[in-house]
Amino acid sequence: MAGAAASRQGTGSPVGLYTPEERLRRDASPWTLVQGILAPLQFAIFVTSLWLVARCLATGDGLRLADASVVAKTCALYAIMVTGSIWEKDVFDRWLFAPAFFWEDVFSMLVLGLHTAYLVMLFGGFGTADQRLLVALAGYATYLVNAGQFLIKLRAARVQGQKAALAG
């Protein structure tokens, strides 16, 4: 395990996203399915919330609904972060920052920080409603980048799996 992680980070030839052992653990982990369910669910909540937040900022209407939607999006984010950490432990034997997903996890911390800042503003009474909603939009923008990172990794895993199937 440590050797595979070191070779991914080192200057030698790339190992790929998963070692054969990690791929087996990924496929056997129940958290893989959980992540596969939570990711599109979170995206659906995001799209709905983005519309509600944008509408509220544009018209001034629907603040309570916009706030509720951002709280729902944040809860979905926390759920996917916790279960994703458990997944990384199952697959890579690290709770977070496994070399294969290091930068995705780093960016996830920014996404989590912005969403948490929104909650602090909402429940702590800090800032105006517009400021709070702009923090939500900043969190949503970083979420989109982070989701793109994970989609690129998903594609890389599929390509690696196809190459392994052809070679084996």
**In the structure, what pLDDT confidence band is assigned to residue 165 with cuts at 50, 70 and 90?**
confident
| Distance in angstroms (rounded) separating the CA atoms of residues 54 and 51 | 5
- Block residue for tokens 């939500």: 136
CA 47 to chain centre: 15
| For the chain, counts of helices (H) and of strands (E) | 6, 0
Q: Give the mean pLDDT of 89-112.
A: 95
Q: What's the CA gap between 120 and 64, in Å, rounded? A: 16
- pTM here is 0.85
Residue among 156, 152, 154, 147 nearest 80 (CA):
147
The predicted pLDDT at position 159 comes to 85
What is the rounded distance in angstroms from the CA atom of residue 41 to the CA atom of residue 16? 28
Confidence of residue 133 (pLDDT cuts 50, 70, 90): very high
Helices 20-28 and 63-92, axial angle in degrees (round to 10): 130
The answer on pLDDT for 56 being more than 50 is yes
Q: What is the pLDDT of residues 69-94, one digit of tens each?
A: 999 999 999 999 999 999 999 999 99
Query: Cα–Cα distance between 151 and 43 in angstroms, integer?
Result: 12
Structure tokens belonging to residue 9? 């980070």
User: In one letter, which amino acid is 147?
Assistant: A
Residue 63 has pLDDT above 70, yes or no: yes
- More reliable by pLDDT, 168 or 13: 168
